[in-house]
Amino acid sequence: MTFYVKNAQYEPHTYPRIFGERFCIILHSPLKIKPGDKMTRQGKSTIVLNEKPSILSHAAVVGKTEGEGPLSAEFDFVFKDDTLGEESFEKSESALQKDALRRALDKAGISEEQADTVIAGDLLNQLTASSFSLRGSEAAYLGVFGACSTMALSLGLAAILTGCGASKFCAAVTSSHFCTAERQFRMPLEYGGQRPQSAQRTVTGAGADILSAHRSDRPCVTAVSFGKIYDLGITDANNMGAAMAPVHVSMDS
């Protein structure tokens, strides 16, 4: 799979990157975008989407604890059983993703077959929840891992694909599950370990957005800024919020 910028002027050298064994992305640098192109770069981090791709629909489903919080009325569905009837928490998280994507597609009025690309991510090794939730899908699957930024990352990438015409209907999906995150980053709940009262709780839930080319009756994405890595040296596994919420964040415009 090769990505390129149409009508761009570039130096005669490329930088191939190999991901796994199946994909190659070729980047041409430096780029000089001509007026009228669908995307332009502003500063180091921001991509301006001149075609303004639209968000057709969105959906969010959560577990019991999240449904008891102040945002309960904003969710599309609250599951009373965090297992969703599955035999493992990992399968439960996959089921959350499936449900959120199905609801978003239904709200957009398009079928699963019409969604040509799905960008999805979660917190598990090898994106297990996302990979298994999309096993039966015919859509092209792009897995992303950004921890708490996964929803914003997948949404930004989906906006770029729909904005340049590479995708007609692109879904951005992400999920997490308290029980799978405890097993992944701390200790399995079966150990019965006691968590300090100050420990953050990972959300049990999933969200999905469906994007397309610009529509005047839908909200649109006008620009995307991709962030940088900031390592504050936080080593407390019970205080991940401190690692992901630095007091000072510096991003080029």
Owner of token pair 């699957």: 141
Amino acid, single-letter form, for residue 106: D
Closest to 139 (Cα-Cα) out of 117, 169, 106: 117
Structure tokens at 64: 């019991």
CATH architecture for residues 54-212: 3-Layer(aba) Sandwich (3.40)
pTM score:
0.79
pLDDT 10s digits, 214-252: 999 999 999 998 877 777 787 877 777 777 766 445 544
Task: Give the pair of three-digit tokens for residue 253.
Answer: 């415009």
Q: Collect all residues with Cβ–Cβ distance below 8 Å to 158 and sequence separation of at least 6.
A: 53, 117, 119, 167, 170, 171, 172, 209, 211
* Model pLDDT, residue 15: 30
Q: Is residue 233 helix, strand or coil? A: coil
* Domain spans, the chain: 1-37, 54-212
Q: Which two tokens stand for residue 100?
A: 């959120």
Q: Which regions in the chain score pLDDT beneath 70?
A: 1-36, 245-253
Q: Strand 205-212 vs strand 170-176: parallel, antiparallel, or unpaired?
A: antiparallel
* pLDDT for the residue 246: 64
Predicted confidence at residue 186, as pLDDT, reads 75
pLDDT of residue 182: 84
Q: Report pLDDT for 194.
A: 76
C-alpha angle 236/240/245, rounded to 5°? Answer: 125
